[in-house]
Structure 1
Amino acid sequence: MTTTALVHVAAGTATMEGMLELPHDAAGVVLFAHGSGSSRLSPRNNHVARVLRDAGFGTVLLDLLTPDEDSNVHNRFDISLLTRRLRAAAAWLAAQDATLALPLGLFGASTGAAAALQLAADPAVRVAAVVSRGGRPDLAGVDALRAVEAPTLLIVGGADEPVIALNEQAYAELGCVKRLAIVPGATHLFEEPGTLDEVARLAADWFAGYVAGG
């Protein structure tokens, strides 16, 4: 039995809308950080979220930006802003009866991956594990990458060569338990048959090892 709720999370003067879905006896909760131009309705992130719920994890898919904010392309690349919003969401989860005791995982895509890593670098926030899908972890900055202690998985498409190079740069700066997984034949959006399923499998295994088993 999965509990599903439309939630509204305050972040300064803004309010983020999202969906919390929590299986019975969840092993943890995974907070999604969407990439530039994406939203909580992203079919790719929702596909991954379904697989994670089947594996026993709660999921939270939030719009980190309001519609007005998202209309300004600059905001989509404002990693500090995205991180503040993600921090507000993590604090909200830590204050809810249903999720306060659950370990927190972060799943970031595109620029959302940088925000997830910046949040994981904050010693005041307890993050059990991080997964990046086609992300820009390099945008988190060297200082943040070096401060991350949560086990981190970077997933990149094998045909997404520019992003592979950026992930390799970020990977070299991470001092935590880490893995760089290349999905053969996948382009940036993992639209090729079976490639998004592989992303979901890798993410579920990572969270099972470091959120449920951590």
Structure 2
Amino acid sequence: MPKFEVRVPPHGLPGTLSVPGNAGALVLFAHGSGSGRLSPRNTTVAEALNARGIATLLFDLLSEAEEIDRANVFEITLLADRLTEAVNWAMADPRTAGLPLGLFGASTGAAAALKAAARLGPKVKAVVSRGGRPDLAWDDLGAVAAPTLLIVGGADETVLELNAEAFGRLTGDKALKIVPGASHLFPEPGALDEVIALSARWFERYLMGNGDGGSAP
């Protein structure tokens, strides 16, 4: 499968674009605080999506200089700006132009994904949040038109409560799925596999018109 090391304009942010043969969709990843394009969890999810015919872009939302100021990882508007720029670049790049596009966000990256989805409207066809903080995009949730799946660990009690509150603000197609016994980073045996199964079904349903999307594996 072709993999390309790219620089996402206009800031030249490094990323990895993976495009399987006959790709039917594209998912951009927005990592959470303290993580980057090499996040092992996001990389695992991306590889599983690639195996299902979905192209992926993992990229750093901040430059090295910006990462020095840790406050930037919680600047949701800044992160959403970067994600929006990446979406517009991917939609124009000949390798991915024309592919239905989704966003996958983790932790604070989920808030950035939802804020970007609210801005981009019909350009974004689906959003998945893994252990996310959608509450950090509170004022934008009502404007998210893209079908949105919130995945939370059952043992991640505070984040689960925040997701339940945010879920009520979403007005389009939506689902809240709880992975029993899983904590924030889903390190428990089988937990990340559950995340992958739920995410893949959601994207296959809303990006590729396959499956039922919302049912549990």
**TM-score interval (norm. to shorter):** over 0.9
Instruction: Please state whether the residue corresponding to 2:123 is helix, strand or coil.
Output: coil
Instruction: Please state whether the residue corresponding to 1:64 is helix, strand or coil.
Output: coil
Q: Which residue of 2 aligns with 1:10?
A: 9
- 1:10 and 1:26 map into 2 onto residues whose CA distance is 23
Deviation at 1:125, TM superposition (A): 5.7
1:161-192 per-position Cα deviation (integer Å, ceiling 9, x unaligned): 00000001110000010000000010000000
The alignment of Structure 1 onto Structure 2 pairs a total of residues equal to 210
Q: Which residue of 1 aligns with 2:192?
A: 196
Instruction: Please state whether the residue corresponding to 2:158 is helix, strand or coil.
Output: helix
Highest relative contact order (Cα 8 Å, sep 6+), 1 or 2?
1
1:168 aligns with 2:167: no
Q: Structure 2 length as normaliser, TM-score?
A: 0.94
Match of 1:64 among 50, 61, 64: 61
- 2:64 and 2:45 map into 1 onto residues whose CA distance is 24
- 1:133 and 1:29 map into 2 onto residues whose CA distance is 17
Gap runs ≥5 in structure 2 = 211-217
1:158 aligns with 2:154: yes
Give structure 1 regions of 4+ aligned residues with deviation exceeding 2 angstroms: none
Measured on the aligned residues, the alpha-carbon RMSD in Å equals 1.1
What are the within-5 Å matches in structure 2 for residues 136-151 of structure 1? 136-142=133-139, 144-151=140-147
- 1:146 and 1:153 map into 2 onto residues whose CA distance is 15
Q: Which residue of 2 aligns with 1:29?
A: 26
Q: How high is the sequence identity, in percent, across the aligned residues? A: 55
Higher strand share: 1
Match of 2:130 among 128, 133, 146: 133
- 1:26 and 1:148 map into 2 onto residues whose CA distance is 25
- 1:138 and 1:60 map into 2 onto residues whose CA distance is 24
